[in-house]
Amino acid sequence: MSGTVTAIDELALSGTKDGKITITTISEPYGKGSESVASIGISLQAGAGEPDWKVHIPKANIDAVIAALQKAKETL
């Protein structure tokens, strides 16, 4: 992955001792000229160099993903 990573927030991952959720933005994540994305990373333990899981969401999809997550929250 290339591009500039900008930290937005870091949250404790519920249900883990020291896991975390990280929210960042990444400019040109797939090389020069590629669209910037929001990145959500999940780390199960502190000190991990890279998240165990991550997802990149293009700006055009963020609102729809938020709406779907709100629906998912209502069913939990």
Kindly list the averaged pLDDT for each block of 10 residues, start to end, along the chain of length 76: 89 94 96 95 87 96 98 98
Q: What is the pTM of this model?
A: 0.88
3-state secondary structure the chain: CCCCEEEEEEEECCCCCCCEEEEEEECCCCCCCCCCEEEEEEECCCCCCCCCEEEEEEHHHHHHHHHHHHHHHHHC
Q: What is the pLDDT of residue 50?
A: 87
* Tally of domains in the chain: 1
Q: What is the pLDDT of residue 1?
A: 60
**What range defines the domain where residue 68 resides?**
5-75
